[in-house]
């Protein structure tokens, strides 16, 4: 039980940080491009509290419930924006939508570099672990190194999940919000208005949950292969 609680704590810290950065990136991008709605709501911040207050169910209850059932963690958060601003500037809104996944890509890269440095320094070692929490293991003795190996594994996997899932071009994911970037202004406005139809977001979310496992498994295998190949570690 203590081990599961410790693992859950590491997952939650990674989830809270990754989700907060994702939403703060949305809010910051919107502010830079003329919509201060999220800024006034306190979302242009790496402090998780404003984000938790906005979405306590998705930021606290659901992640804990998912972890208790599956051993990994997922949930959601949101940053407010002005729909009228997005309708007037659909391409700016598209860039704002991409800012969240870009934050997760940044954390994916950071965790990858940290894993490479750890393997190179002998602190970490590749492992063919059978869970999403054991991408790498401690390569040297020490509880801190073991916790660090688990945390980096989680940070890598979680941000790959958040990056890929949010980029799916299905509403309500960010990939759908970014589609106006490749549309004419007239088509982009019509597209955004069509997304307000009742049931569109629910249908898109259900389809995304069905599609995502077919995308995530191969992507994780490819990236882990590249990562360990760069490390020169392999899996023996």
Tell me the per-residue pLDDT of 208-223, one tens digit each, with 9 for 90 and over: 999 999 999 999 999 9
The pLDDT value given to residue 236 = 45
In the predicted model, what is the mean pLDDT of the chain? Answer: 93
Spatial separation of the C-alpha atoms in residues 27 and 20, rounded to whole Å: 10
What pTM was estimated for this model as a whole?
0.94
Spatial separation of the C-alpha atoms in residues 167 and 175, rounded to whole Å: 4
> What confidence tier does 130 reach under pLDDT thresholds 50, 70, 90?
low
Mean of the pLDDT values across residues 96-110?
Answer: 98
Give the rounded distance of the alpha carbon of 151 from its chain centre.
Answer: 15
Question: What would the pLDDT profile of 14-45 be if each residue is shown by its tens digit?
Answer: 999 999 999 999 999 999 999 999 999 999 99
Instruction: Using the CB atoms, write b or e for 42-72: b if 16+ within 10 Å.
Output: ebbbeebebbbebbeebbeebbeebbeeeeb
């Amino acid at each position: 039980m203590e081990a599961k609680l410790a693992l859950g704590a590491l997952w939650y810290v990674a989830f809270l940080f990754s989700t907060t950065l994702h939403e703060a990136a949305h809010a910051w991008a919107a502010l830079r491009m003329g919509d201060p709605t999220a800024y006034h709501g306190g979302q242009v911040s790496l402090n998780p509290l404003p984000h938790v207050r906005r979405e306590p169910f998705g930021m606290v209850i659901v992640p804990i419930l998912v972890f208790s059932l599956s051993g990994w963690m997922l949930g959601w958060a949101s940053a407010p924006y002005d729909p009228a601003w997005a309708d007037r500037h659909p391409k700016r809104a598209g860039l704002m939508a991409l800012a969240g996944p870009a934050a997760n890509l940044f954390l994916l890269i950071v965790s990858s570099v940290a894993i490479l440095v750890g393997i190179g320094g002998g602190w970490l070692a590749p492992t063919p672990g059978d869970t999403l929490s054991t991408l790498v293991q401690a390569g040297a003795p020490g509880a801190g190194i073991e916790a660090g190996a688990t945390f980096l594994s989680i940070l890598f996997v979680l941000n790959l999940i958040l990056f890929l899932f949010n980029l799916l071009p299905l509403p309500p994911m960010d990939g759908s919000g970014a589609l106006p970037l490749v549309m004419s202004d007239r088509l982009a406005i019509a597209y955004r208005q069509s997304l307000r139809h009742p049931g569109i977001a629910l249908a898109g979310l259900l389809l995304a949950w069905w599609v995502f496992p077919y995308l995530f498994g191969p992507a994780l295998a490819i990236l882990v292969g590249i990562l360990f190949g760069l490390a020169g570690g392999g899996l023996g």
